Amino acid sequence: MNTITKPLVLLILCLIVSNVNAQETQQDSTGNNMPFRENGLEIDRLIELKKTIENEEREFLKAEVENINRRLDVGGITKDDAEILKKEAAKKRALNIENRMAILDNKIALLERNDDGYSDETVQFGFSFEKFTGININPKNKSRVYDKRTTSDLVFAAGFNNAIGDGQKIGDEYSFMGSGFIELGVAWKTRLLKESNAVRLKYGVSLQWNKLTPKNDQYFVQDGNITNLEAFPSELSDVEFRITNLVVPIHFEFGPSKKIERKNYFRYSAENHFKVGIGGYAGFNIGTQQKLRFKEDGNRVKQKIRRNYNTTPFVYGVSAYVGYGGLGIYAKYDLNPVFENQTFDQHNLSLGFRFDLD
């Protein structure tokens, strides 16, 4: 199962890149960071630029004539050739002035016709859902969606992790500070109500890394269908047991938001507002690994052991978060046991910080 971990990680990264490419440069949810300049300011800038064009081209012509005269002085060209070159240079610069002025006039007219501004097409290189050729053409001038009910963002979470069973407390068998988790994924958020943003559905794809660090120089030993914690023959300087899961998290998100209305669209912004998310996740265990560090005959030894250790292949659990803006406190609990076929079940419990990067 571990052999597919790297391709799946690559898939997640591709999804993240495509998500970033697909997002509009403008933050639609807040109305800030507009990609288009205010039309009046841009038109004023173009008018000022028109005033400099003639002077620029005259300076370029002056430099070309001086260069022609130097060639004439050293005998590189004849007087007749010099006159022809000067006339050609003057004609070229006159056409440059005419063409550059026309370009600016067209841009000014374009801005005057488009109240929301205008930006040329850009070509982006990278992965995308629309094109797998490596080149994604993104026309920024397409009409803005009036009511954009679904947005996307990146999700990153990290914090403490432990495993507990009936009658156990956090930290009984696994180091509290040495055990932890990381979650990285891409998520979409859809407004569920037509006239309100009070309830949203958040869903996506995430990679979860859950790490356990056994205490008292113990390590995991797989004996057939049973996996036990046993004492290591010597002192362990470090032990790390890591489970990697690929999951689909789904949360109902509640909280106030601000409605931002523009001339031809409107958006809801939850920035600088409290939010609460309640839901769960389900997916697959895609890799299990144990790392051991110890000394043997005075030498430092590091071992990496990859096997399933009878860990549960299908994972599922409940999760929740409470936050303000893009930062929140996040908790998750695996309803599936860490190991199968055990006489005593343990479940992963995680608590940490969550970042939703719109």
For residue 2, tell me if it sits in a domain: no
Pick the last residue of a domain from 57, 91, 113. Answer: 113
Looking at the fold, whether 96 and 172 belong to one and the same domain comes out as no
Looking at the fold, whether 195 and 339 belong to one and the same domain comes out as yes
Choice between 262 and 182, residue whose per-residue pLDDT is larger: 182
H-state helical runs in the chain? 5-22, 39-73, 79-113
For residue 124, tell me if it sits in a domain: no
Looking at the fold, whether 147 and 292 belong to one and the same domain comes out as yes
For residue 317, tell me if it sits in a domain: yes
What secondary structure letter does DSSP report for 3? G
Looking at the fold, whether 101 and 160 belong to one and the same domain comes out as no
Q: How many domains does the chain have?
A: 2
For residue 21, tell me if it sits in a domain: no
Looking at the fold, whether 219 and 80 belong to one and the same domain comes out as no
The string of pLDDT tens digits covering residues 187-228 is 999 999 988 999 999 999 999 999 999 999 999 999 889 998
pTM comes to 0.63
Looking at the fold, whether 164 and 286 belong to one and the same domain comes out as yes
Asked if 355 and 155 count as a contact pair (C-beta separation under 8 A), the reply is yes
Looking at the fold, whether 322 and 214 belong to one and the same domain comes out as yes
Q: Report, as an integer, the average pLDDT of 124-142.
A: 45
Q: What is the pLDDT of residue 171?
A: 84
Choice between 149 and 9, residue whose per-residue pLDDT is larger: 149
Looking at the fold, whether 94 and 238 belong to one and the same domain comes out as no
For residue 138, tell me if it sits in a domain: no
Q: Per-residue confidence at 235, pLDDT binned at 50, 70, 90?
A: confident
Tokens found for residue 192: 């569920």
Gap between the Cα atoms of 226 and 270, Å rounded? 48
Looking at the fold, whether 169 and 95 belong to one and the same domain comes out as no
The string of pLDDT tens digits covering residues 322-354 is 999 999 999 999 999 999 988 789 999 999 999
Q: What percent of the chain stands above pLDDT 70?
A: 81
Structural domain boundaries, residue 326 = 143-357
For residue 289, tell me if it sits in a domain: yes
Q: How far apart are the first and last CA of the chain?
A: 33
For residue 186, tell me if it sits in a domain: yes
For residue 213, tell me if it sits in a domain: yes
Angle at 248 between CA 242 and CA 253, to 5 degrees: 115
Looking at the fold, whether 168 and 91 belong to one and the same domain comes out as no
Q: Report, as an integer, the average pLDDT of 289-314.
A: 91
